[in-house]
């Protein structure tokens, strides 16, 4: 039986309004950010969570990383129930967008030494781990440069290195390619694939279907706090494209020429315009 890295059953989160706001609204209803989410993600999978802004993706991620508590439902992360926060936080690494917790005046290596100490890594063990991670994320030659001099892509790769310091089984990436240029995005995506090849389970949060199709084995589409569908991203992409409709105005092509469009337009309708075009 394949081990599950992430398993959720009816996971929900409702944020209650502040006390003062509750007095103004007689209903006193909170905001449900995540509703009845059930997922099964095998160990070693590169899984994507896809959805627009406000869909509940970040809230779900915080639940899975034990940063907030659920209102209802259950979950097991790396085999540990949600209430076992210490075991789960040892098993997961989290990379968020626009990371601001690094020390800008320190070098990349010094930053990692500080965070390694927080994980209980010191001395030779810490130095070897940091050296390995800097090489892994492609920052070996920039280890002594100040963090403030790093590009956006370099900062994001250092954030991934930090998340891997304690050798987590599961890596959560919250829109890691946002604000990156195409070159940095390609380098980051290559790194993500390499990490999966090393056996790390990747949970990728994104709003970019093309990125999900390129990287993920499966994706869950989330909207208004609920998971709408889980499946192969390429198949979902084709299904969504089939639902699109386009209007072409042809000034010179007669109706007899339209069958030539069949390879790219399997289904179409024609109608003359008021001025005689098609």
Which conformational region is residue 252 in: left (phi greater than 0), alpha (psi within -120 to 50 degrees), or beta? alpha
Q: How far is CA 167 from the centre of its chain?
A: 19
Nearest-angstrom CA–CA distance, 164 and 46: 16
Instruction: Output the pLDDT for position 17.
Output: 76
Residue with tokens 């390619």: 177
Q: How far is CA 66 from the centre of its chain?
A: 17
Nearest-angstrom CA–CA distance, 230 and 82: 23
CA nearest neighbour of 112 among 76, 74, 163 = 163
Indicate the burial class of 140 (C-beta count within 10 angstroms; 0-12, 13-18, 19 or more): middle
Is there a contact between 221 and 236 (Cβ–Cβ < 8 Å)? yes
Q: What is the pLDDT of residues 133-161, one digit of tens each?
A: 999 999 999 999 999 999 989 999 999 99
Percent of the chain clearing pLDDT 90 (strictly above):
65
Pick out the chain residues at pLDDT < 70. Answer: 1, 18-28, 98, 240-278
Judging by DSSP bridges, how do beta strands 170-174 and 201-206 pair with one another? parallel
Ordered structural domains, the chain, with CATH: 4-16+30-242 (3.40.50.300)
Indicate the burial class of 142 (C-beta count within 10 angstroms; 0-12, 13-18, 19 or more): buried
Q: In what order do the strands lie in the sheet with 46-50?
A: 92-95, 170-174, 201-206, 46-50, 218-223, 226-231
Q: What is the pTM of this model?
A: 0.81
CA nearest neighbour of 41 among 84, 71, 67, 11 = 11
CA nearest neighbour of 79 among 70, 88, 71 = 88
Instruction: Output the pLDDT for position 265.
Output: 60
Taken in order 122, 158, 189, 205, the sign of the CA dihedral is positive
* SS3 (DSSP) at 12: strand
Neighbouring CB atoms inside 10 A of 19's CB total: 8
The separation between the first and the last C-alpha atoms of the chain, rounded to the nearest angstrom, is: 59
């Amino acid at each position: 039986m394949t081990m599950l890295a992430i398993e959720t059953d009816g996971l929900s989160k409702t944020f209650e309004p502040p006390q003062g706001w509750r007095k103004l609204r007689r209903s006193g209803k909170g905001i449900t950010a995540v509703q009845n989410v059930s997922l099964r993600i095998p160990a070693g999978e590169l899984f994507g969570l896809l959805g627009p802004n406000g869909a509940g993706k970040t809230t779900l991620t915080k639940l899975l990383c034990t940063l907030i508590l659920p209102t209802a439902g259950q979950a097991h992360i790396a085999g540990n129930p949600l209430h076992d926060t210490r075991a789960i936080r040892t098993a997961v690494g989290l990379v968020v967008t626009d990371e601001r917790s690094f020390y800008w005046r320190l070098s990349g290596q010094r930053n990692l030494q500080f965070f390694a100490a927080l994980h209980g890594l010191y001395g030779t063990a810490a130095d070897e781990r940091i050296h390995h991670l800097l090489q892994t994320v492609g920052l070996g030659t920039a280890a002594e440069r100040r963090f403030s001099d790093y590009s956006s892509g370099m900062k994001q790769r250092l954030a991934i290195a930090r998340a891997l310091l304690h050798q987590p089984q599961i890596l959560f990436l919250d829109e890691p390619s946002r604000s990156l240029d195409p070159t940095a995005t390609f380098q980051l995506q290559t790194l993500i694939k390499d990490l999966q090849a090393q056996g790390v389970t990747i949970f990728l949060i994104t709003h970019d279907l093309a990125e999900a199709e390129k990287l993920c084995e499966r994706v869950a589409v989330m909207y208004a706090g609920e998971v709408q569908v889980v499946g192969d991203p390429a198949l979902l992409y084709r299904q969504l494209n089939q639902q699109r409709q386009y209007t072409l105005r042809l000034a010179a092509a007669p109706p007899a020429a339209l069958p030539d469009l069949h390879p790219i337009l399997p289904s179409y309708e024609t109608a003359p315009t008021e001025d005689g075009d098609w």
